[in-house]
Chain A
Amino acid sequence: MSRVNRIAAIAVVVGAMTLATTGISSASAPSRAPQQAKGGEITFGLEAESTNYCLTGAQLAASGIQVVKAVYDTLTVPNSKGEAVPYLAKSVKPNADFTVWTIGLREGVTFHDGTPVDAAAIKANLDSYYGAPDAPNVGSLIPIVLGFVQSVAVTDPLTVTVTLKTPVSTFPAYLYLTGRMGIMAPAQLNSGDACKTNLIGSGPFKVSSIRQNEATVVTANPNYWQKGYPKAAQITFIPVTEGAARTNQLQGGQLDMMHTSSATQIAALKNIGNINALTQKPGYREINYSVLVQSKGATAKVFGNETVGADARKAYNTALDRKKINQIQNRGTFTLANGLMDTKAPGYLKNAGYPKYNPKKAKALVAKVKAGNDGAFDIVLGTTTDAENSKLAQQVQEQLDKVGITATIAQFDQATLINKAISGDIDVLFWRNLHGGYSFSSDPDNYPWWSNYNTASGGKNAINFAHFNDPDTQAALDKGRTETTPAQAKATYTAYNKAFAKGNFITPMWYVNWTIGSQKSVKVALPALPDGAGKPLFVYGVLPVIGLSKK
């Protein structure tokens, strides 16, 4: 071997060895939490990043709500029986006809900036949530949900009275609103645009640092009102948007915990040894569904067409082989949903009446729609950029194509997708939501979402993404929110569920098995709620974090 040959060969070998040894010698991944304090430091992998934490206007999904759960408290929370019980509030009591609610507060509770959680702070929050005149940072969606609130008044330093326009027996559940209605310190609420990033709550953890798309670090609140909590010293929330990467990071030890609603990743978690997987039980699960958007007027689309809209929606629902889609999408591990609600919700029906898969019938309906719609049945499927959602959209597109429906896929981030649905720029919205969260009533999960698009006051219910008006469902919703016994609620919501299915406003797909994966060293405890209110409910993929700890 000549000298050149030798040296060139040595260069190659040395280079390869340098690379290999750099990799091997590092032995193990550096810990993000080198110092172990009491209760430990936990890294939690989220499926998305949230940029706006001004809760009155934030459009938060499960990832954002998980962070909210650490930093903020809500006035009420759901317990394991599905009842909304007082939490940050000491009591939430109605008058005889459910039109005035009195919220009693706990003494000595403070926000992270040391200011008191008193009646003035709660009024300021509720004013901004429901959109009182001159309230700061009023959002565009929650005021629609709380459109029944007339006024909020401070009765004494620890008591707030909320007067409603109509009787609402389920008002305590609205004070939770799937974890979105955290109570912010006035310093955050009144900080203008900084409200989005200046997180000050009264929750078990306070924000130590936020680095967008990298990490949100929260540390234990030493003055937390629930003595002995939180258990963990620190939680670092890390957005890992790619599902497989999130699972790899948990397996590799970079993450202590993660959440996922992907069947593929849930299966992967269960196949990894040495990992705990906590899956939400049936009863109050979210459902995955498609909203059939009936935009009207100048941009009239096929689902809202006066003549053929009903047949078009029925054709869509008849064309989809949901079982096959579930098999490909979720390996058949998720349970198909046949209505809006899960098994423990009032009004749940094994079969609410949605049409069964029947391609022949679908083709006939498509032909009928085309005959009445200038020969066209073209729709836009709106979804997020997530790989799983893309896969779902492609399967739906393929099945629709087989019966003669031309579908194109449009992908957006979640907030933009919501805006597209609101503005009616898409025909189908691939979505998931909780529509039967509480055993006593399905009101807070249904009333705001599915009340008529055209409101009685002449406005628009923008979060009715399907844009429909239906007297039967509206009547049931109006009646349901005033029911005061579980039996009455069940009867009313059963009628509602049937009427909803009859309109084919959505296509129910399957229940979502939110799962939390965690290292064996992490203890996922759900401590009892204060005042003997029972155990907290793990719902919507959002885990109560006060009991988390790491050895």
Chain B
Amino acid sequence: MELTKLIARRAVQLVIVLLFVSFFTFLLVRLLPGDPTDIIIPFGTEAKKAQLRADLGLGQPLYQQYIDYLGNILQGNLGRQYSSGRPVSELVAQSLPVSIQLMIYAQLIALLFALPLGIWAAYRAGSRSDAAINTTGFALLALPNFVVALVLSYFIGARLKWLPTGGYAPGWLDPIFDGTRSTDIGGHFNYMLLPAITLALGQIAIYMRLLRSDMIATLKENFISMARAKGISNLRILWRHALRPSSLTLLTVVGLNVGALIGGAIVVEVIFGIPGMGQKITLAIFSREYIELQGYVLVVAVLFILVNFFVDFLYTILDPRIRRGRSAT
């Protein structure tokens, strides 16, 4: 019951935040100085500019424009890319699954390494292996994505020819968003592995260090001493008793990264030729495709909020004390 109430309250908050986000995204084009059509299509004919003004509803009061904009969004209409005339929703449907899959693989690889390394480093805090793991983590953190991307692309792809250095094949998620695509799982993983590793390397270091510090604190708690006193094995203590309460900070950062990577893997997507949201956003910025950019910003912002809403919800599962605390307030 308390969980239902909590979800209902968070859902209301979510709707309010989404309305704010949509309003600020809506203002993106309306706040352009002068006549927005002069900025969006500076050399368009008068007829084209008039059409754009009508499409954007620029002659109407602002509140009416926003209501229309919201109505269009709810119907999946995000406007059109000016240069090609393609619907932005079509471009989103092509690029969003690509970025989501890349983000998932990067996170999985990062967590696959960060969890055991973080636990090990905490368990052996102060030892040589802890120092070695920390130093490696620092080194990985210091390497910019583009350097890792180019180095991997050159050595693994161009020189050794183990993996492709660029391109894309549709994965399991693409056909769901875009019915015209058929899956090529083998090719998909081949193309995605290098970019996913590139993105994961930096994340491994962050996650590992976060987990390590929280874990060290947890291992000093009374309930851990109690567990040890009961003769529970170290492995069980670490993975079953200590990991869960130590993973809240990690979960927060993973949540933030998930949202950020959907639209933010720009360098990696460009270098590896991954046709995801990051690449689309970059091109939209440079080509001053304001309507298209508005659509991407909205989609990324909404996903960011939804993911973090979900993460917030996960807290309550990981640590029942949070659920109880929030219910009480």
Q: Which residue numbers of A lie inside 8 Å of B, CB to CB?
A: 2-5, 7-9, 11-12, 15-16, 18-19, 22-24, 26-30, 32, 49, 51-52, 140, 193-194, 196-197, 211-214, 238-242, 244-245, 247-249, 251-254, 385, 411-413, 415-416, 419, 422-423
A3 and B235 contacting across the interface, CB-CB below 8 Å: yes
B69 in contact (CB, < 8 A): no
Given contacts A29-B157, A252-B165, contact A197 B85 (CB under 8 A): yes
B150 in contact (CB, < 8 A): yes
Q: Which residue numbers of B lie inside 8 Å of A, CB to CB?
A: 42-43, 45, 80-81, 83-86, 91, 94-95, 109, 112-113, 116-117, 119-120, 123-124, 150, 153-154, 156-159, 161-169, 184, 186-187, 189-191, 193, 197, 233-235, 238, 270-273, 275, 279-280, 283, 286-288
A-B contact pairs, 26 of them (CB 8 A): A4-B235, A8-B116, A11-B116, A22-B193, A23-B162, A26-B189, A26-B193, A27-B162, A30-B184, A30-B191, A140-B45, A211-B275, A212-B94, A213-B95, A213-B275, A238-B167, A240-B273, A248-B158, A248-B166, A249-B157, A252-B166, A254-B164, A412-B286, A413-B286, A416-B287, A419-B42
Q: Which residues of A contact B112 (CB under 8 A)?
A: 15, 18
A23 and B271 contacting across the interface, CB-CB below 8 Å: no
A245 and B287 contacting across the interface, CB-CB below 8 Å: no
**Which of the listed residues A23, A24, A411, A419 has the most CB atoms from chain B within 10 Å of its own CB?**
A23
A28-B162, A197-B85, A416-B288 given; 6 more Cβ-contact pairs under 8 Å: A9-B120, A26-B190, A30-B187, A30-B191, A213-B275, A423-B42
Q: For the complex, what is the distance from the CA of A214 to the CA of B117, rounded to whole Å?
A: 37
Q: For the complex, what is the distance from the CA of A248 to the CA of B161, rounded to whole Å?
A: 10
Given contacts A26-B193, A248-B153, A412-B288, contact A32 B167 (CB under 8 A): yes
* A197 in complex: contacting residue of B84, B159, B162, B234, CB < 8 Å: B84
B117 and A254 contacting across the interface, CB-CB below 8 Å: no
Task: Report B329 CB to chain A, min CB distance, Å.
Answer: 39
**Which of the listed residues A3, A5, A249 has the most CB atoms from chain B within 10 Å of its own CB?**
A249
Q: For the complex, what is the distance from the CA of A254 to the CA of B116, rounded to whole Å?
A: 35
Task: Report A462 CB to chain B, min CB distance, Å.
Answer: 8
Q: For the complex, what is the distance from the CA of A2 to the CA of B275, rounded to whole Å?
A: 47
Task: Report B270 CB to chain A, min CB distance, Å.
Answer: 6
Question: What are the 6 tightest A-B residue pairs by CB atom distance, in nearest-first order?
Answer: A29-B164, A4-B234, A193-B85, A11-B116, A413-B286, A51-B84
For A418, give the chain B residue with the smallest CB separation.
B43
Q: For the complex, what is the distance from the CA of A213 to the CA of B238, rounded to whole Å?
A: 46
Q: For the complex, what is the distance from the CA of A416 to the CA of B81, rounded to whole Å?
A: 15
A245 and B153 contacting across the interface, CB-CB below 8 Å: yes
Q: For the complex, what is the distance from the CA of A423 to the CA of B43, rounded to whole Å?
A: 9
B167 and A413 contacting across the interface, CB-CB below 8 Å: no
Main secondary structure of the interface of B (DSSP, over half): helix
A4 and B233 contacting across the interface, CB-CB below 8 Å: yes
A29 and B161 contacting across the interface, CB-CB below 8 Å: yes
Task: Report B162 CB to chain A, min CB distance, Å.
Answer: 5
**Which of the listed residues A2, A140, A247, A254 has the most CB atoms from chain B within 10 Å of its own CB?**
A254
A8 and B120 contacting across the interface, CB-CB below 8 Å: yes
Given contacts A4-B123, A419-B43, contact A212 B271 (CB under 8 A): no
Q: For the complex, what is the distance from the CA of A28 to the CA of B156, rounded to whole Å?
A: 10
Q: Which residues of A contact B163 (CB under 8 A)?
A: 23, 26, 29
Q: Which residues of B contact A193 (CB under 8 A)?
A: 80, 85
Q: Which residues of A contact B153 (CB under 8 A)?
A: 244-245, 248, 252
Task: Report B75 CB to chain A, min CB distance, Å.
Answer: 20
For B146, give the chain A residue with the smallest CB separation.
A242
Q: Which residues of A contact B150 (CB under 8 A)?
A: 244-245, 248
Q: Which residues of A contact B159 (CB under 8 A)?
A: 251
For A29, give the chain B residue with the smallest CB separation.
B164
Task: Report B154 CB to chain A, min CB distance, Å.
Answer: 6
B113 and A15 contacting across the interface, CB-CB below 8 Å: yes
Given contacts A4-B233, A32-B167, contact A248 B154 (CB under 8 A): yes
Q: Which residues of A contact B280 (CB under 8 A)?
A: 213
A3 and B233 contacting across the interface, CB-CB below 8 Å: yes
Task: Report B120 CB to chain A, min CB distance, Å.
Answer: 4
Q: Which residues of B contact A249 (CB under 8 A)?
A: 157-158, 164-167, 273
Q: For the complex, what is the distance from the CA of A210 to the CA of B161, rounded to whole Å?
A: 28
For B191, give the chain A residue with the smallest CB separation.
A30
Q: Which residues of B contact A2 (CB under 8 A)?
A: 234
Q: For the complex, what is the distance from the CA of A469 to the CA of B156, rounded to whole Å?
A: 55
Task: Report A463 CB to chain B, min CB distance, Å.
Answer: 11
**Which of the listed residues B162, B168, B279 has the most CB atoms from chain A within 10 Å of its own CB?**
B162
Q: For the complex, what is the distance from the CA of A212 to the CA of B128, rounded to whole Å?
A: 51
Q: For the complex, what is the distance from the CA of A4 to the CA of B116, rounded to whole Å?
A: 11
* A8 in complex: contacting residue of B86, B123, B157, CB < 8 Å: B123
Q: Which residues of B contact A244 (CB under 8 A)?
A: 150, 153-154
Q: For the complex, what is the distance from the CA of A249 to the CA of B159, rounded to whole Å?
A: 10
* B165 in complex: contacting residue of A9, A214, A245, A415, CB < 8 Å: A245
Q: Which residues of A contact B184 (CB under 8 A)?
A: 30
Task: Report A244 CB to chain B, min CB distance, Å.
Answer: 6
Q: Which residues of A contact B167 (CB under 8 A)?
A: 32, 238, 249, 254
Q: For the complex, what is the distance from the CA of A253 to the CA of B166, rounded to whole Å?
A: 10
Task: Report B229 CB to chain A, min CB distance, Å.
Answer: 17
Task: Report A277 CB to chain B, min CB distance, Å.
Answer: 16
Q: For the complex, what is the distance from the CA of A468 to the CA of B119, rounded to whole Å?
A: 70
For B238, give the chain A residue with the smallest CB separation.
A4
A15 and B116 contacting across the interface, CB-CB below 8 Å: yes
Given contacts A32-B167, A252-B158, contact A49 B283 (CB under 8 A): yes
**Which of the listed residues B109, B153, B158 has the most CB atoms from chain A within 10 Å of its own CB?**
B158
* A242 in complex: contacting residue of B81, B123, B156, B270, CB < 8 Å: B270
A140 and B157 contacting across the interface, CB-CB below 8 Å: no
Q: Which residues of B contact A254 (CB under 8 A)?
A: 157, 164-167
A253 and B161 contacting across the interface, CB-CB below 8 Å: yes
Q: Which residues of A contact B197 (CB under 8 A)?
A: 19
A30 and B233 contacting across the interface, CB-CB below 8 Å: no
A23 and B286 contacting across the interface, CB-CB below 8 Å: no
* A413 in complex: contacting residue of B158, B162, B287, CB < 8 Å: B287
Q: For the complex, what is the distance from the CA of A12 to the CA of B189, rounded to whole Å?
A: 22
Task: Report A270 CB to chain B, min CB distance, Å.
Answer: 15
Q: Which residues of B contact A253 (CB under 8 A)?
A: 161, 164
Q: For the complex, what is the distance from the CA of A413 to the CA of B283, rounded to whole Å?
A: 8
B190 and A29 contacting across the interface, CB-CB below 8 Å: yes
Q: For the complex, what is the distance from the CA of A252 to the CA of B190, rounded to whole Å?
A: 13
Q: For the complex, what is the distance from the CA of A400 to the CA of B85, rounded to whole Å?
A: 41
* B43 in complex: contacting residue of A26, A27, A211, A422, CB < 8 Å: A422
**Which of the listed residues A49, A213, A238, A244 has the most CB atoms from chain B within 10 Å of its own CB?**
A213
Task: Report B163 CB to chain A, min CB distance, Å.
Answer: 6
Q: For the complex, what is the distance from the CA of A22 to the CA of B108, rounded to whole Å?
A: 14
Q: Which residues of A contact B234 (CB under 8 A)?
A: 2-4
Q: For the complex, what is the distance from the CA of A213 to the CA of B186, rounded to whole Å?
A: 22
Q: For the complex, what is the distance from the CA of A249 to the CA of B168, rounded to whole Å?
A: 12
Task: Report B38 CB to chain A, min CB distance, Å.
Answer: 10
Given contacts A29-B157, A140-B43, contact A245 B272 (CB under 8 A): yes
Q: Which residues of A contact B117 (CB under 8 A)?
A: 12
* B283 in complex: contacting residue of A16, A52, A213, CB < 8 Å: A213
Task: Report B250 CB to chain A, min CB distance, Å.
Answer: 16
Q: Which residues of B contact A241 (CB under 8 A)?
A: 270
Q: For the complex, what is the distance from the CA of A240 to the CA of B271, rounded to whole Å?
A: 8
Q: Which residues of A contact B283 (CB under 8 A)?
A: 49, 213, 413
